Amino acid sequence: MFRKILIANRGEIACRVIRACRDMNIKTVAVYSEADRDALHVRMADEAIFIGAPPSSESYLRGEKIIEAAKRSGAEAIHPGYGFLSENADFVRLATKNEIVFIGPAPEAMEAMGGKISARKIAIEAEVPIVPGTTEPLESFEEAQKIGLEIGYPIMLKASAGGGGKGMRFVQTAEDLKSAYETARGEALASFNNDEVYIEKAVVRPRHIEIQIFADKHGNYVHLGERECSIQRRHQKVIEECPSPINSSELRAKMGESAIKVARAVNYVGAGTVEFLVSDETREFYFLEMNTRLQVEHPVTELVTGIDLVREQIRVAFGEKLSFAQEEVEWKNHAIECRVYAEDPENNFLPSPGTITRLRVPQGNGVRDDGGVYEGAEVSIYYDPMISKLAVYGKTREEAIDRLRRALREYEVGGIKTTLPFFLEIVEDEEFIAGNLDTGFITRFNERKKEKEIDETAQDLAIIATSLANSSNQKTVTIESNKAQQSASRWALAGRAAAQQNRM
């Protein structure tokens, strides 16, 4: 086995990988930027090497500096985590040239899945269903018009180089096409330096369900089931779970088989994720894209399968066979993960950097927290503000939700704002509890919340009106109605009270 691995990442995922290495008796090397001198991953690793200024373009994205650090420390392999260099084919080539093992797939597999159009072509070859649409970039607006009519509205315009919803437009009718076409291309060019866009039929109220796959260098392929990721905010996942509330063992087997077909088509090695859109009505599924890395939400799969994905990645990269066969994979219990961010849910999820003055992480039955911070640590403005992933499991979805609520209540973070209060509201939401999860969930959730606030304000006003009518003392009434104005939103007030209680 490897004796030393360099982790080319930071935050919770760097800590996660260091823990797996420690399990396996492998020495660890952290890299860090100026902003991360005191970061948790630096404290946890056996060694740490400084790689540059805070902006990731000057540190965590500098392939040559990281290779140099690996050579200097004698690390035989590099684990990239997610983000940063994890899907950079040139970095893989640079590592290979320097005789360092990249823990992940070959650069060719990465490139094949890097573009959405290229990925769609591969899926067709592999006889896996894709969302109906084009498999070449649109040449002109006129062509878009023609195809739009053929496919039928609504349609989606998507950037070939896209990701994170950038360069993506939902187009309801032919009249909206012109402006959508222009803005999608403009956004694609600005974000990816590539203005290629293509058309997909819009799937109505789809679910986003992905399949975890794994392959070794000996031609063995397995799938580890699905993760339901339909709850997204601005195309960022917020909550992930397994099984999907619409899971059946039949659907899982079918989607798993399709995911393996896609992976095989590019000779994939290591951990990968194949994303699908699933129609809520028909349960039909369509290939969307493949992510050629370990994903943020991998703990959900670990909790239900009992397989350590990072350990398996390391074993496979070393050349060992998968430690299990498909028939041995069992799914037990129900797992749910929340991404805890240093963001203010009461202020449009604005990042909330600063020093964590108090930290109490939930524990107990069915709770796992993958964190990247400690009490006294600084959440910097330079990187993704996710501070931890709170994952829970229970025998049933109900039990998992009960434990999630308990864990969220136990969680205390002081000094910065976090998304914990937002999750506390979601676990109480009837639609979430019912498992009615689709792409529109967060929008509907926000609308329900607004309605509730209006209701409560109306109730407040009714109480004031009553007291007005009943009161003979004019002065008291004035004070009360002032109070009512301040508390235009009882929810906001409750939030502020919670903030004062928990985080000061």
Binding site for ligand MV4 (CB under 6 A): 131, 156, 165, 200-203, 206, 208, 230, 232, 235, 277, 439
Q: Is 10 among the catalytic positions?
A: no
Q: 228 or 460, CB closer to ligand MV4?
A: 228
CA angle 218, 224, 228 (to 5 degrees): 145
In the 3-class helix/strand/coil scheme, how is 187-243 assigned residue by residue? HHHHHHCCCCEEEEECCCCEEEEEEEEEECCCCCEEEEEEEEEEEEECCEEEEEEEC
| Residues 80, 56 contacting (CB under 8 angstroms) | no
* Smallest separation, CB 39 to ligand MV4 (Å): 29
| Residues 29, 47 contacting (CB under 8 angstroms) | yes
* Smallest separation, CB 379 to ligand MV4 (Å): 25
Q: 100 or 426, CB closer to ligand MV4?
A: 426
Phi then psi for residue 402, to 5 deg, are -60, -45
| Alpha-helix residue ranges (DSSP H) falling in 78-130 | 89-97, 107-114, 116-125
Q: 174: part of which helix (H) or strand (E)?
A: none
Q: 34 or 280, CB closer to ligand MV4?
A: 280
Catalytic residue (one of 233, 293, 339, 503): 293
Q: 121 or 358, CB closer to ligand MV4?
A: 121
Nearest Cα to 380, choosing from 45, 29, 33?
33
* Smallest separation, CB 49 to ligand MV4 (Å): 35
Question: How many angstroms separate the CA atoms of 218 and 225, rounded?
Answer: 21
Question: How many angstroms separate the CA atoms of 131 and 155, rounded?
Answer: 11
* Smallest separation, CB 269 to ligand MV4 (Å): 25
* Smallest separation, CB 231 to ligand MV4 (Å): 8
Pairing mode, strands 206-215 and 101-102 = unpaired
Tokens (6 digits) for 340: 């805890």
Q: 71 or 235, CB closer to ligand MV4?
A: 235
Cite the active site residues: 293
